Amino acid sequence: MATSPCVSFDSGRTVTDGTTRYFRLRGTLTSLEPTETNTDYRLPAAGQIAALFVYVPANTASVTSTVTWRLNAVDTALAVAIGADQTGEFEALGAVAVAAGDLGAIAVVVPTEAGTNDLTLSVLGVNYTPTTLLVTYSLLAGHGDTLSTASVTRYLQIGEGVASSNEANTQLSALPAGTWQELAVRVTANARTTTTTFTSRVNGATGNFTVAFTSAETGSKVDLSGSDVTDGASELGLGVTTDTGAGAITWTTCNVTLLARAVDNVAIVTTPQDFVLVGSGGVQNLAQAFNTTNYVQLGALASPTTTETTAQLLARVTYQAKYLSARVSANSITGSESTIRLRVNGSAATSVLTYAAAETGVKTDLDHTDRITAGSDRTCIEIVTPNTSGTLNLRGIWLTGTVLRKFVLH
């Protein structure tokens, strides 16, 4: 078994006093969702959720707010209390057992007080560890969109869920080899007069798992039978296809899981087990102007911050960070190069990508790795554009984490 982090990010998402809001396991914090079922993630295997992490950059709520891991719509003991006007890092280091098929989400509760006051969040994170040996699950939860055009296919970046007409902008590559499985979609409104189908996309073609909603059908569906076996060179994404007819369909989650499995036949196995962290931006891209330094956490890109601590995540698993990757769809920066770099504890790590003036496309750093130590290292991604002119358009940033484990096989 190996642990994988699940991270959500926004430069500053406010929850007003007197409200309860729910957030997904990973991705963007943009949606202040009042309905828990619209954020639930179906967990693929028995194991545990642990190490709830919260970063609060600002807080005008003079009450005690709570952030809680919820399991099957019930509060668990994995929770943090944020006192009146407190800011900074908050952690709950306990663990909660989960079963395959359980539904999980994160609830933020800010009690009522006089006036209007806000709790501002930038990073939410938990760790997921399956019980089964020699497997790692990366949980990639995507948010939603609405589609009303008939007879079209639109494309979704894994972990984003917003529909794009440009598949290349949504594809991810240089991801851990493994099995993509358990496509789960929740539809909250559906006036389509015909069937709408969600599928995996592999190398520009329809993959092997599918979820279909017939005319006017709503609710949550998951494909537990289909899967796609992929290697590190595969271009991966999701698609949604409408049939003829009319009407709009709205979904709030579009989730998929990566299963990375390592097997050896010798008595003692030292095996790398990989997870992936994705900063989604297939549609909600980051358009960064020249002469700017921004920081993001690998959950979302569309809302960066110029304050590094606001984007930092305290690691609760030790791993090797590798294969830092990015997709730049447009680049009008002139004269000098732009850089995308992993940062650890406020300093430059070795993993780095450079884009020359006007350069676009997908790049992966195959030459560097960085050790991230649980309990002490705080990480984020830095994006720097030079003092020239133009704009850099980023559609995604992602990296792989490798956890080394030793097992004795019987």
Domain locations along the chain = 4-132, 139-261, 271-407
Other CB atoms within 10 Å distance of the CB of residue 359? 14
Least confident of 240-249, 275-284, 389-398: 275-284
Rounded-to-integer distance, Cα 326 and Cα 96, Å: 34
Second-level CATH architecture of 139-261? Sandwich (2.60)
pTM comes to 0.91
* 4-132 and 139-261 have identical folds: yes
* 3-class DSSP state of 309: helix
Longest CA span, the chain:
65
Structure tokens at 136: 């790692």
Beta strands in 332-390 (DSSP E): 338-344, 347-355, 361-364, 369-372, 378-385
pLDDT, tens digit (0-9, with 9 covering 90-100), for 196-254: 999 999 999 999 999 999 999 999 999 999 999 888 788 998 999 999 999 999 999 88
Q: Hey, what amino acid is at 118?
A: D
Q: Do 97 and 48 touch, CB atoms closer than 8 A? A: yes
Q: Which residues have a Cβ under 8 Å from the Cβ of 114 and sit 6 or more positions away? A: none
Rounded-to-integer distance, Cα 87 and Cα 123, Å: 12
Q: Do 365 and 323 touch, CB atoms closer than 8 A? A: yes
Q: Domain 4-132 has what CATH class?
A: mainly beta
pLDDT, tens digit (0-9, with 9 covering 90-100), for 355-382: 999 999 999 999 999 999 999 999 999 9
Least confident of 161-170, 277-286, 301-310, 390-399: 277-286
Structure tokens at 325: 């990757």
Q: Hey, what amino acid is at 390?
A: G
Structure letter (DSSP) for residue 37? G
Triad 204, 276, 292: Cα angle to 5°: 90
Structure letter (DSSP) for residue 305? B
Phi, psi of 244 (to 5 degrees): -65, 175
Q: Do 224 and 239 touch, CB atoms closer than 8 A? A: no
Q: Which fold has domain 271-407?
A: Jelly Rolls (2.60.120)
**Higher per-residue pLDDT: 234 or 384:** 384
Instruction: Please name the helix (run of DSSP H) or strand (run of DSSP E) that holds residue 311, with its range, or none.
Output: helix 308-311
Confidence category of residue 405, pLDDT binned at 50, 70, 90: low
